[in-house]
Chains A and B, each alone.
Chain A
Amino acid sequence: MVFVGLFVAVMSGCTPEHPQSTFDSHGPVAEAQMGLFNLLTWIVSVVFILMTVGLLYTIFKFRARPDSKPPTQTHGNTKLEIAWTIIPIILLAAVAIPTVQTQFYIAAPPEGEDKLVVNVIAHQWWWEFDYPDLGVSTANEFHVPVGTNIEFNLESVDVLHSFWVPKLAGKMDIIPGKTTSMWFKADTVDADPSTPEKDSFYGQCAEFCGVAHSWMRFRVWVDEQDEFDAWVEHEKSLAQDPDTDLAEAGYKLFLTKGCVACHSINGRPDAVAVRGPNLTHFGSRGTLAAGIKPNDDMNLRAWLKDPNSLKTGTIMANEAAVYINPDLALTDSDLDGLVAYLRGLK
């Protein structure tokens, strides 16, 4: 009964359609890890059932009863004790082989196959993604071609972070002052085929990195090769000019309100700072504030009005002039202009 209940609970606990479910592998690295996990789950489940049945049987069979005789005072049994030392050793040795094999497999992409290099630079609390071979730099969302090995070089500008896309690969920590690396390959373009539209893969920082750690997320879009090439071409293009008066006013505010102290917009010589995310094609991203909210007018307005309302502790709220100097505070019409300009950066 207990086991049936437990089994049902286990199975219902493993529903794979959640966006960060590790059961729903979409690439060889995650699959290798899941395969090992499943092997272990079977082994430990059997061991658990045997040990628990043994424990419960012992308790019920040897319960003290009014007529129980004093038990024989046995002190041990060498053969039995050797047996239950050897059996686990054999079991573990069997598990050790695929463990070591998988460990080496996931360490680096197979030699001789094509690969695309992506440099990941983690910041409190957002992500920078650079493609050194393609001359592209973007933030919080990045694209990769399907079926290609992607090698990541991971760096941090401040504290420890950890790079994790559960459906594609296990995590790798990011350590300031050194470069760590990992790889994955996506087998499918859609993270969740049960919905009609194409879904991106969810990623998230997995090492506690300060107050806004919970909101340090990102998205991975997996594209067919031609889509990916088109995306690269688009990313390389310079920023669009503002196309309405409102957007034009927003652009002026962007220059004068101090936004350029941290953000760059390719093609705008006044906006070249790299402290915050590159906003050249901000309007074409699906999410804002490091993958936490859909990128629409309402959320962008809320974000610009008070970044803390979406993401407590964000550095922009603590350091940008418009939030700490009341004389520079953004008015409602300022917000209209900035939203129009930024959303227009397709």
Chain B
Amino acid sequence: MASISNALRRPTSTTGVWGWITTVDHKKIGIMYGISAFSFFLIGGLEAFIIRLQLARPEHALVSPEIYSQLFTMHALTMIFLGVMPLSAAFFNLVIPLMIGARDVAFPRLNALSLWVFILGALMFQSGWVFGGAPNAGWFAYAPLTSSTFSPGHGMDYYVLGLGILGVSSVAAALNFIVTIINMRAPGMTLMKMPVFVWMTLVTSVLLVTAFPVITVGLIELFLDRTFGFHFFNPAAGADPVLWQHLFWVFGHPEVYILILPAMGIVTEVLPTFSKKPLFGYPVIVLSGISIGFMGWAVWSHHMFTVGLGPIANSVFALTTMTIAVPTGVKIFNWIATMWGGNIELKTPMLYSIGFIFLFIIGGLSGVMHAIAPSDAQQQDTYFIVAHVHYVLFGGSMFAIMSGIHYWFPKASGRMLSESIGKVSFWLMFIGMNVTFFPMHFLGMDGMPRRQYTYDSSYGWDFWNLVATIGVFFLAAGIIAFVHNFFRSIRKGEVAGNDPWDARTLEWSMASPPPEYNFAVIPTVSSRDAFWEQKQTGTTIKENEGGTAYGEEGNHGIHMPSPSYWPLVVAIGLTISGNGLMYSFPAAGFGVFLTMVGIYAWSMEPATAPDNH
């Protein structure tokens, strides 16, 4: 039965379009993750831009309320699921194997599957704009507004099936990285010698694997309600719609840490490099990251302080939420202490990381204010929470991701991003961030609820809304400057060399961009900051010179996994079945069949083609 695998001749090309499409190389997959996720980030930004133009002045009629509700729903979903999460995944792919001294991830073809399911699922998700309406009930989609009675049409089906398919991608990637990090570290790299970014990836991956099943249950129930008239969330049939809120936020709060922990990991790599000092309090940083991830499971009802769960439940969740401030504060103090006494170089990655700390302090403190359940009854569902969420997710996650892009761009491309354009983009984004989002605290306290498509002048919200909209232009200019920098530098940026930042971790020990097999000789690690240690003691990792690594010449060179079509076939099958569930059950059946064929052929196909030595 291996004949199915042979139905398509095994791809051999590692260059050109098909080389990219069939690749299983973690670096190429990382780059494709990064570029596609950043493109979706730009789409989410465009949605936000239209939202701010609509709110620039009172009773503005730029978009209709129907379009507006799709815009704010899709903005959040796009930024979270198609922007920040896959951008983090891009860093996992690019950096993790290099940091732990591995030649690839544990399951290279599964990695390709994650990428293609993400790209095709994301395109399907966005296709709602073209076919019959995008999701429009807010990103947390509270029942029963999502039922077929109150949300007819296919908008909410794109939500259910889109998130379901994207979940496959996330869980597959997370399992892959858990196995990779546990099993494939270089000799000598004990858990407590791993770079913190690897630690945060591990914690994030565990959260993904455990949190996504919860939302998947909710999505399946909502799908059955909408498509087959089940009653999981239908109060008319006696259901309690608050069930959805619990299912959503039991997933949704760990999800918040899925968005921020990789960002914290990036910042924790950048700060020591540009301070020329080791991380201050490594064990405490690692432990606080783990405890943030763990406690993320005990706070979900702080999203539901006004649901009427009663004073006991509200008090308990207020207290658990406040305790999360402790490990978060510890991290910030340790970051500042890392810089203390160092030689701080304010290069662009460092500026973004310092910007992250400043903005995350604001977002963290407004988070503590939200944790105070009784007074949160005033701020809940107002622009105050919109300000908070953007300080932690834009000021937090996105600034750290920008830091990471500027930091690892030379490693991935072999060229440096322009420092001067980088600094311009940083200051534009930093100013824009604060001008846009700080006034939203005032709007919230002045009683402006979120998700209003317009407002009238008598409420006194005109001025700060206009200020916020002006800020968006700075943000847009900053993003445009960055995109320009990216395209300019990829062609004619200064050549980076192996180690442009005088950095500390193993990925800087090899050529930029790294050879396909990463390490000619798998390094032996004896301390944290392994590469820094090697530079200090003068021992270097052997570099390869020819096409094969001489360390393994006796074993016919290095065996790298061969490219494969099957992950893409499975991803196409899954996407067809998702669309089919909306429009045509036979098509869904065909999608499932294609998925099965793909999985079968994949499992019959050897990881490395026999003739590909």
Q: What is the interface of chain A, defined by CB distance below 8 A to chain B?
A: 9-10, 13-15, 17-23, 30, 32-34, 36-37, 40-41, 44, 47-48, 51-52, 54-55, 58-59, 62-65, 68, 70-77, 80-81, 84-85, 88-89, 92, 95-96, 99-100, 102-107, 124, 154, 158-160, 162, 164, 166, 169-173, 175-178, 180-182, 202, 204-214, 292, 312-313
Contacts and interface: CB of A to CB of B under 8 A. Distances in A.
B308 A170 contact: no
A47 B362 CA distance: 10
Interface of B: 64-66, 69, 137-138, 142-145, 150, 235-236, 238-242, 275-284, 306-308, 310-311, 314-315, 318-319, 322-323, 325-326, 329-330, 332-334, 336-337, 339-346, 354, 357-358, 361-362, 365-366, 368-369, 372-382, 438-439, 441-442, 445-456, 458-461, 464
A32 B373 CA distance: 12
A9 B443 CA distance: 12
Contact of A207 (B342, B381, B447, B448): B381
Contacts of A312: 64-66
B265 to A, nearest CB: 18
Contact of B378 (A18, A89, A171, A202): A171
What DSSP secondary structure best describes chain A's contact surface? mixed
B301 to A, nearest CB: 13
A268 B457 CA distance: 39
A19 B242 CA distance: 31
Contact of A171 (B345, B357, B373, B377): B377
30 contacts: A13-B445, A40-B375, A51-B332, A52-B358, A58-B340, A63-B343, A74-B341, A75-B279, A76-B283, A80-B333, A84-B333, A85-B326, A99-B315, A99-B322, A100-B319, A102-B374, A103-B373, A154-B308, A158-B150, A160-B143, A162-B306, A164-B449, A170-B377, A172-B308, A177-B239, A180-B308, A206-B306, A213-B452, A292-B456, A313-B66
A64 B502 CA distance: 14
A207 B145 CA distance: 11
A85 B330 contact: yes
B373 A166 contact: no
B447 A22 contact: yes
Given A20-B448, A209-B145, A64 B344 contact: yes
Nearest to A101: B374
A159 B235 CA distance: 9
A75 B329 contact: no
Given A9-B438, A74-B277, A84-B330, A95 B322 contact: yes
List the 4 shortest-distance A-B pairs measured between CB atoms, nearest first. A20-B447, A170-B377, A13-B442, A177-B235
Contacts, number: 285
Contacts of B381: 162, 171, 206-207
A206 B445 contact: no
B319 A96 contact: yes
Contacts of A75: 278-282
Nearest to A313: B65
A37 B375 contact: yes
A177 B240 contact: yes
B281 A176 contact: no
Given A34-B375, A75-B280, A208-B145, 16 more contacts: A19-B459, A22-B446, A33-B377, A40-B375, A55-B354, A58-B339, A59-B354, A63-B344, A84-B329, A85-B326, A103-B314, A170-B380, A175-B307, A204-B447, A208-B450, A213-B451
Contacts of A88: 325-326, 329-330
B236 to A, nearest CB: 8
A154 B308 CA distance: 10
B241 A13 contact: no
A170 B370 CA distance: 13
A59 B330 contact: no
Nearest to A92: B322
B145 A159 contact: yes
B460 A211 contact: no
Contact of A99 (B142, B373, B451): B373
Contacts of B372: 36-37, 40, 95, 99
Contacts of B366: 44
A14 B445 contact: yes
Contacts of B374: 32-33, 36, 99, 102-103, 105-106, 170
Contacts of A34: 375, 378
A48 B361 contact: yes
Contacts of B464: 13
B277 A22 contact: no
Contacts of A41: 369
B343 A70 contact: yes
B378 A71 contact: no
A249 to B, nearest CB: 33
Contacts of B241: 160, 175-177
Contact of A170 (B238, B333, B378, B458): B378
A182 to B, nearest CB: 8
Nearest to B149: A158
B307 A173 contact: yes
B281 A210 contact: no
A207 B311 CA distance: 20
B281 A81 contact: yes
A74 B442 contact: no
Contacts of B307: 173, 175, 180
A213 B307 CA distance: 18
A105 B64 CA distance: 42
B566 to A, nearest CB: 42
Given A37-B369, A172-B377, A59 B344 contact: yes
Given A17-B460, A44-B368, A73-B278, A214 B145 contact: no
Contacts of A30: 378
A206 B375 contact: no
Nearest to B145: A159
A96 B323 CA distance: 10
Contacts of A213: 451-452
Contacts of A81: 281, 284, 330, 333-334
A304 B66 CA distance: 22
